[in-house]
Amino acid sequence: MNGSWKRAGRFGAALALVLAGALACGDNATSTPEQPASAGTGTTTAAPPSPPAGVVEFQQAEPGSGKGITIGFTQLSLASGFPQDVQKGVEEQAKRAGAELITCDSKMDAAKALDCANLFKTRGAQGLITFQADTNAAPRICAAGPAVPVLAVDISQKPCETSFVGAANAYAGQLIGYELGKHFKEKFDCKYDAFVSLEALQVGEVNEQRMGGIRQGFASVCGEVRNLRKLDAGGAGGDVAQKLMTDTLTALPGQHHIILVGINEDGILGALAAARAQNRTNDLYLGVQNFNPKNCVIYQHPNWIGSVAYFPERYGEILVPNLIKAIKGEKLPAQLLVPHLVINKANAKQNYPDYAC
């Protein structure tokens, strides 16, 4: 399955998972907890998860390859960090290719996305990048726009979608789950007290892939997940996550090895606030989705195992070169998926030069 939001329902659910999270710095605790009291159910030795079919490498646009080409880009919402990063990358690659780029912000509104499609038809766009939230409106939006190649970003845009560009959700989950499993096998013989999963149930398939992938990756090293606590934090709900985590920690007194995973970093920030209020920051071990180099509260945590990067700032390196190929008649795969990577203290600066946590 691809990373589309087709079961996400309303627009807010789609936005919830693309938000990178609030900006914050702090939380410098460094003490080490005691060994966990509860035992694991057995361990296995597993190889790291392999990328699925459709994962591609980032590739800069060939200079001049887009000369004479006009690209229309429907944005999800430029009020949010993730789309802003995507926008920057697309602009850079279009400029590098020499293509004209027309951007139209749908502002999470299907009617505005329809206006964008009409604009691109009027302006003679030869290819479209479409990042809009309502898959049910996609047929109308497709019909309104020009009959040209369309790359859908993170949200399926059938029937006119040429290729889907976005996250390999299950794989992204497996990557961080595997790293958590490795850490707990090496440090604690796979012993831990609880496994808390901050989820966004309203996005359905994406949540199942991403969070189920985390459990699969962990289980490949440490066996089936025990004492699982699924908390529906609603995707971008930092306040909701804080309340849920407050209740969860209260129900886990005296337990110092609690694995905490999240569908994005906003929920983790809320959970950390709950832990600080109970003086239990060091009880948590963090594995996170959707790395944002400015979320220092997470990265300065002593038990941050890693965060999976989705590289929104590099989406343009997939979108622009491949759209130009499609405009010139080259057949593209049905999916062009992001090459996810686990970011940790050892490699953060290498992959994000502006990382300063």
The answer to whether the beta carbons of residues 70 and 102 sit under 8 Å apart is yes
Q: Decide if pLDDT at 6 tops 50.
A: no
pLDDT per residue as tens digits for the range 136-169: 999 999 999 999 999 999 999 999 999 999 999 9
% of the chain residues with pLDDT over 70: 87
Q: Say how far apart CA 36 and CA 192 lie, in whole Å.
A: 6
- Residue 331 has a CB neighbour count (10 Å cut-off) of 8
Q: Say how far apart CA 137 and CA 236 lie, in whole Å.
A: 24
- Confidence band (pLDDT; 50, 70, 90) for 21? very low
- Confidence band (pLDDT; 50, 70, 90) for 236? low
- Helix axes 205-222 and 169-188, enclosed angle (nearest 10): 30
pLDDT per residue as tens digits for the range 97-130: 999 999 999 999 999 999 999 999 999 999 999 9
The enclosing H or E element of 246 equals helix 238-250
Q: Decide if pLDDT at 230 tops 50.
A: yes
% of the chain residues with pLDDT over 90: 79
The answer to whether the beta carbons of residues 78 and 87 sit under 8 Å apart is yes
The enclosing H or E element of 101 equals strand 100-105
- Residue 10 has a CB neighbour count (10 Å cut-off) of 11
Mean pLDDT of 24-46: 43
Q: Say how far apart CA 72 and CA 69 lie, in whole Å.
A: 10
Give the CA angle between residues 80, 85, 86 to the nearest 5°.
100
pLDDT per residue as tens digits for the range 269-302: 999 999 999 999 999 999 999 999 989 999 999 9
Give the CA angle between residues 30, 31, 32 to the nearest 5°.
120
Q: pLDDT averaged over the chain?
A: 88
- For the chain, the first-to-last Cα distance in angstroms comes to 35
